[in-house]
Amino acid sequence: MKILKNILIWVFIIVYFAVAMSFVKERRNKILCHDIKVVILDSLQNGFITVSDIKDFFHETDMNVIGTPVMSINTKELERKLKQHASVKNSEVYVTLEGDIRVEIDQRNPIVRVINKRKQSYYIDQEGTIMPLSSKYSSHVLIANGNIVEHFEVNRTREIYCDNPDNYRNENWKRNHLVCDLYELSKFIYEDDFWRAQIEQIYVNDEYEFELIPRVGAHLIYFGSIENYEIKFRNLRAFYLQGLNNVGWNKYDKISLKFENQVICTKR
């Protein structure tokens, strides 16, 4: 008898939850989307996208979700379309029981602004993605200019395909090696607090070598290629801290790192 009683209790519980869930599902089917709430997660760091930009996106004819039953809204498709925006790194879209659409946006983070030989200008972010300039916001990042020639259409390309700069068999790398080198050099500078504070510009000269322009001091740094760039920066940092701090930051006109394990200085 006790076993039968327990079975009946469990049957009742299962039936109760099944009925309750059907009522919840029916109720959700009747809930209409009445508001879009947007959060820009990194709004204090970058300003490429605003809340109104995202709401305008949803108000487009084919993406207007206001008044739509929340159960019929394809949040994954909305996320996919949001990620097509050049400044969106990641997006998360979900609905609430109250009938809200919640949108969380993570923007792309540029590390360098490129001004190429044809005077076209764009950003490259930390993932190697090309970002167009914005009329609403300008990011204060490293500037790269000079003899920069790309083997792709700047206004149509999103990725520069630098998957592995050490893989010289990669055809994309061979064709775009200058921009790949520029990206790798810029990424190193950006991710190092010391050099991000020191270097403000990269110039590509006629030999397709890099020259660095510092924020402090009247000297020009002849960097050469990016071969052994970490060692070059290590040597330059030692020279800055042990040399220029003692003799003065305006004593030299040129500092060359082109030759292996050497820091060659030219006085003013």
**Is 53 contained in some domain?**
yes
Query: In terms of Cα–Cα distance, which of 105, 106, 112 is closest to 139?
Result: 112
Single-letter residue type at 55: K
**Is 13 contained in some domain?**
no
Count of domains for the chain: 2
Burial class (CB in 10 A: 0-12, 13-18, 19+), 175: middle
Query: In terms of Cα–Cα distance, which of 116, 114, 104, 109 is closest to 137?
Result: 109
Give the residue from 76, 107, 138 where a domain finishes: 107
Q: Contact at 8 Å (CB) between 56 and 123?
A: no
Residues 71, 166 share a domain: no
**Is 1 contained in some domain?**
no
**Is 58 contained in some domain?**
yes
CATH number at residue 156: 3.40.50
Integer Cα distance of 145 and 104 in angstroms: 34
The sheet carrying 199-204 orders its strands as: 130-131, 121-125, 110-115, 142-146, 199-204, 210-214, 220-224, 252-256, 264-267
64-87: per-residue pLDDT in tens?
788 888 888 888 999 998 998 889
CATH number at residue 68: 3.10.20
Residues 53, 64 share a domain: yes
Residues 103, 114 share a domain: no
178-237: per-residue pLDDT in tens?
999 999 999 999 999 999 999 999 999 999 999 999 998 788 999 999 999 999 999 999
Residues 123, 99 share a domain: no
Give the range of the structural domain holding residue 216, as residue numbers without chain letter.
110-267
Residues 228, 262 share a domain: yes
- Poorest-pLDDT segment among 25-29, 68-72, 137-141, 240-244: 25-29
Residues 218, 255 share a domain: yes
Integer Cα distance of 173 and 128 in angstroms: 12
Helix/strand/coil percentages in the chain, nearest 5: 35, 25, 40
Residues 223, 163 share a domain: yes
Mean per-residue pLDDT of the chain:
83
Give the residue from 54, 85, 107 where a domain finishes: 107
For residue 29, the model assigns a pLDDT of 61
Q: 140 by DSSP, 3-state: which?
A: coil
Q: 173 or 65, which is more confident?
A: 65
12 pLDDT higher than 90 = no
Residues 237, 152 share a domain: yes
Residues 181, 68 share a domain: no
Look up the pTM and report it: 0.80
Per-residue buried b or exposed e for 210-234, using 16+ beta carbons within 10 Å of the residue's own CB? bbbebeebebbbbbbebeebeebbe
84-99: per-residue pLDDT in tens?
888 999 999 998 878 8
For residue 130, the model assigns a pLDDT of 93
Query: In terms of Cα–Cα distance, which of 55, 153, 42 is closest to 87?
Result: 42
**Is 23 contained in some domain?**
no
**Is 39 contained in some domain?**
yes
For residue 27, the model assigns a pLDDT of 54
**Is 169 contained in some domain?**
yes
Give Cα 212 distance to the centre of its chain. 23
List 69's β-bridge partners, or say none: 32
141-163: per-residue pLDDT in tens?
999 999 998 888 887 778 887 76
Residues 151, 203 share a domain: yes
**Is 15 contained in some domain?**
no
Q: Which residues contact 117 (CB under 8 A, 6 or more apart)?
A: 146, 147, 148, 149
Give the residue from 91, 107, 123 where a domain finishes: 107
> Percentage of residues in the chain with pLDDT exceeding 90?
46
Residues 116, 103 share a domain: no
Residues 77, 102 share a domain: yes
